[in-house]
Amino acid sequence: MSEDIKQELERLRAENEALKKVSAKGLSMKVSEKGALSVYGLGRFPVTLYKEQWNRLLDTTEDIRAFIKANDSALKTKG
Tell me the pLDDT tens digit for each residue of 39-59.
999 999 999 999 999 999 999
The secondary structure of residue 42, as a DSSP letter, is S
pLDDT of residue 32: 94
pLDDT of residue 22: 63
8 Å CB contact between 50 and 37: yes
pLDDT of residue 36: 97
- Report the candidate in 56, 59, 53 with the shortest Cα–Cα distance to residue 34: 53
Residues of the chain with pLDDT under 70: 19, 21-24, 79
